[in-house]
Amino acid sequence: MSPGRLTVMGDSAGGNLALSLVMQARQAGLPQPARLVLVSPCVDVSCDDPAMAKLERDDPILAPEGVREAGRLYAGGLDPRDPVVSPLYGSLRGLAPIAVFTGTLDILNVDAHRLKDRARQEGVSLEWFEYPGMMHVWPLYSLPEFRRAVDEIVAVIEGSRT
């Protein structure tokens, strides 16, 4: 299968890995996939955006301290702002079109917005799906919003959206 037909997708920490993977592939001169789909992605393991504190009280799943500690362990000896472990700090130029699915109750929604802004600044195609009242990785739960999110993800992967 040619890379132009592939979708790279990940949720939460897997969204981090997916974005970091395509960034590193670009740096190595490898072809980009057709698209990148990120669901509740953790794109900054430092979790130091003050806006997270406002969401923390409403997020039923994540807390910045826990994500920050997991990020510290994941980073090993790397700086938590190294784009390899926090892809938000790397350039998005030249990446495949990105689709981001985020819920407004997820503390990582703050960084998803930062990713959207970065894509806009760098002229990278990013399709935005923000679900009011949804928590971290809500498409994995049996909620009414699950079906709509899954249908939209499938549409993105099939190429009928991006």
Q: Hey, which residues are catalytic here? A: 12, 106, 136
Rounded (10°) CA dihedral 40, 43, 48, 49? -60
b/e burial code for range 39-50 (CB count within 10 A of at least 16 → b): bbbbbbbbbebe
- Phi-psi bin for 29: left (phi > 0), alpha (psi -120 to 50), beta? left
Distances (CA, A) of 93 to 16, 57, 122: 17, 35, 6
- DSSP annotation of 139 reads G
Query: Max alpha carbon distance in the chain (Å)?
Result: 45
* Cα–Cα distance measured from residue 40 to residue 116, given in angstroms and rounded to the nearest whole number: 13
